[in-house]
Amino acid sequence: MRVLHVSPVAFPGGGHEGLASQEGIVGGGERYALELARAMAQLADTRLVTFGRPRREYLGALEVHVLRPWRYVGRKGLGPVSPRLVLEIAQADVVHCHQVHTFLADQCVLLGRLLRKPVYLTDHAGGDRHFNRRLGTLEHATGLLLVSRHNAQSFERYRHKIEIIHGGADPARFAPRSLPRRRAALYTGRIIPYKGVHHLIEGVRPETEVRIAGPFYHAEYERLVRKRARGRAVHFLGPVLGDALIDEYCRAGVAVLPSVEVDLYGKRYPKSEILGLVLLEAMACETPVVCSAIGGMPELVADGETGLLVPPGDSAALGAAVERLLDDVPLARRLGAAGRARVLERFTWRHVAERCLAAYQRRPAAAVPLARQEASIEGAA
Q: What is the pLDDT of residues 224-263, one digit of tens each?
A: 999 999 999 999 999 998 999 999 999 999 999 999 999 9
In this predicted model, what pLDDT tens digit does every residue of 94-108 receive, in sequence order? 999 999 999 999 999
φ/ψ (deg, to 5) at 35: -70, -40
Q: Which CATH class is domain 2-168+349-372?
A: alpha beta
pLDDT in tens, 79-135: 999 999 999 999 999 999 999 999 999 999 999 999 999 999 999 998 999 999 999
Contacts of 55 (CB under 8 A, 6+ apart): 66
Q: How much is the pLDDT for 22?
A: 37
pLDDT bracket for residue 11 (50, 70, 90): low
Q: Is the pLDDT of residue 379 over 80?
A: no
> What confidence score (pLDDT) does residue 10 get?
72
The residue type found at 275 is L
In this structure, of 251-260, 278-287, 357-366, the range with the lowest mean pLDDT score is 357-366
Please check whether residue 169 is in contact with residue 246, taking contact to mean a CB–CB distance below 8 angstroms.
no
The band of 376, judged by pLDDT with boundaries at 50, 70 and 90, is very low
pLDDT digits (tens, 9 = 90+) for 186-204: 999 999 999 999 999 999 9
- The strand pair at 254-257 and 184-188 is best described as parallel
Which of these, 316, 248, 256, lies nearest to 285 by C-alpha position?
Answer: 248
Single out the residue of 176, 349, 347 nearest to residue 249, CA to CA.
176
Determine the pLDDT at residue 380. Answer: 39
Burial of 207 from C-beta contacts in 10 A (0-12 / 13-18 / 19+): exposed
pLDDT at 19 over 80: no
pLDDT band at 364 (very low <50, low <70, confident <90, very high): low
Residue 12 is classified by DSSP as S
Domain limits, CATH 3.40.50.2000, in the chain: 2-168+349-372, 184-344
pLDDT of residue 9: 86
Mean pLDDT of the chain: 91
CATH of domain 184-344: 3.40.50.2000
167-180: buried (b, 16+ CB within 10 Å) or exposed (e) per residue?
bbbbbebbeeeeee
Reply yes or no on whether the pLDDT at 16 is more than 50.
no
Residue 13: per-residue pLDDT = 46
